[in-house]
Amino acid sequence: MPELPEVEVTRLSFADRIKGAKIQSVRLGKPLRWPLGCLPQDLQGLCVKRVNRRGKYLLIEMDPALLILHLGMSGSLRFEPLPQLQGEQGGRGVNAVATVARTHDHFVMQTNQGTLILNDPRRFGAVVFANNAQAPIVEKLLGRLGVEPLGEDFTALDFYKSLKARRLSVKQALLGGQIVVGVGNIYASESLFLAGIRPTRSSAKITKAQSILLHQSIRDTLARAIEVGGSTLQNFSNAMGESGYFQLESFVYGRQGQPCRRCQTAVKQIVQGQRSTFFCPVCQK
């Protein structure tokens, strides 16, 4: 599943390209996780003002309307700019549509600056329309999300208090999304390794010093993942078709049986909440 870094990398790859674009048409494929919430033709003529992100959701804002996109388990966006073809007079270029439909393209939005396409083989992703930012569907999808891990509201003290209030493993507390949003399976494992905390440790038993280390480790890990384009474990690529490279430098995730990069002890794999967890039994206490 694409996690916060992959979603942010995707946003950065097309946000400037689609800013100011006017929607010309929308075509739907097979049904996605949730219905669009309007007729495709209702989007025609709307202008994209900006693209933001909340957790793992992308927000295409059209003031006051917006589209909320989620990539689900296997979804990916691609943006195909309009190619420039030579005109017959004065060498001036003219825009031409060159989008070729692919299997599993389930949302295709043509604009005067290019085409945005959601491709999702498993169809757990979604594109949802909202009339404005106060619409009930916005509150339903975004209202209960935790703080953004790279934002100013994610403070070490509040993080410590939230961990102490939980009675579950620290790994599960991170994945829950109520304390901090978007720290998915890959980056929770990596952050816990950097902080030297075993993923099975009770969040209520995390000391203040440990929580400070974990707080900084989360921020550092996510920032680094965004810097290198996210993780491409299967088929992830950003909206321009570029893969990520974070998986090549991970400390524990996906490295079961391989030597720890710090102490050479074999990395272990366990299952928590039906998700694989990776850790070093020596470096993480």
One-letter amino acid for residue 242 of the chain: E
User: What pLDDT score was predicted for residue 83?
Assistant: 78
Task: Read off the pLDDT band of 96 (50, 70, 90).
Answer: very low
User: What pLDDT score was predicted for residue 101?
Assistant: 67
Query: Which of the residue ranges 14-23, 91-100, 264-273 would you say has the lowest mean pLDDT?
Result: 91-100
Task: Read off the pLDDT band of 84 (50, 70, 90).
Answer: low
Of these residues, 3, 8, 80, 190, which one is catalytic? 3
User: What pLDDT score was predicted for residue 99?
Assistant: 58
Judge whether residue 214 has pLDDT over 80.
yes
Judge whether residue 244 has pLDDT over 90.
yes
Contact criterion met (CB below 8 Å) for 180 and 159: yes
Task: Read off the pLDDT band of 234 (50, 70, 90).
Answer: confident
CA-based torsion, 86, 89, 94, 97: positive or negative: negative
Percent of the chain predicted with pLDDT > 70:
94
Of these residues, 50, 54, 164, 275, which one is catalytic? 275
User: What pLDDT score was predicted for residue 249?
Assistant: 94
Q: Is 164 a catalytic residue?
A: no
Of these residues, 56, 123, 171, 255, which one is catalytic? 56
* More confident: 157 or 235: 157
Mean of pLDDT values over 108-118:
97
Judge whether residue 94 has pLDDT over 60.
no
Beta strands in the chain (DSSP E): 23-28, 50-54, 57-61, 66-70, 76-81, 84-86, 93-95, 105-111, 114-119, 126-130, 268-272, 275-279
16: left (phi over 0), alpha (psi -120 to 50) or beta: alpha
Of these residues, 2, 5, 149, 199, which one is catalytic? 2
Percent of the chain predicted with pLDDT > 90:
87
Contact criterion met (CB below 8 Å) for 27 and 36: no
Q: Is 262 a catalytic residue?
A: no
Judge whether residue 40 has pLDDT over 90.
yes
Mean of pLDDT values over 75-90:
72
Mean of pLDDT values over 156-161:
97
Judge whether residue 58 has pLDDT over 80.
yes
Six token digits for residue 103:
């299997």
Query: Which of the residue ranges 105-109, 198-202, 261-265, 271-275 would you say has the lowest mean pLDDT?
Result: 271-275
Task: Read off the pLDDT band of 82 (50, 70, 90).
Answer: confident
Place of tokens 């930012």: 133
Mean of pLDDT values over 219-230:
96
User: What pLDDT score was predicted for residue 90?
Assistant: 41
Q: How far apart are CA 104 and CA 115, in angstroms?
A: 15
| CA max distance for the chain | 73
Judge whether residue 194 has pLDDT over 60.
yes
Judge whether residue 10 has pLDDT over 50.
yes
Q: Is 275 a catalytic residue?
A: yes
Query: Over the range 149-187, which residues count as b (16 or more CB within 10 Å of their CB) and which as e?
Result: bbeeebeeeebbebbbebeebbbbbbbbbebbbbbbbbb
> What are the structural domains of the chain?
4-142 (3.20.190.10), 156-279 (1.10.8.50)
User: What pLDDT score was predicted for residue 233?
Assistant: 77
Judge whether residue 65 has pLDDT over 70.
yes
Q: Is 199 a catalytic residue?
A: no
User: What pLDDT score was predicted for residue 159?
Assistant: 98
User: What pLDDT score was predicted for residue 176?
Assistant: 92
Per-residue CA distances from 7 to 40, 59, 136, 156 (Å): 24, 11, 23, 24
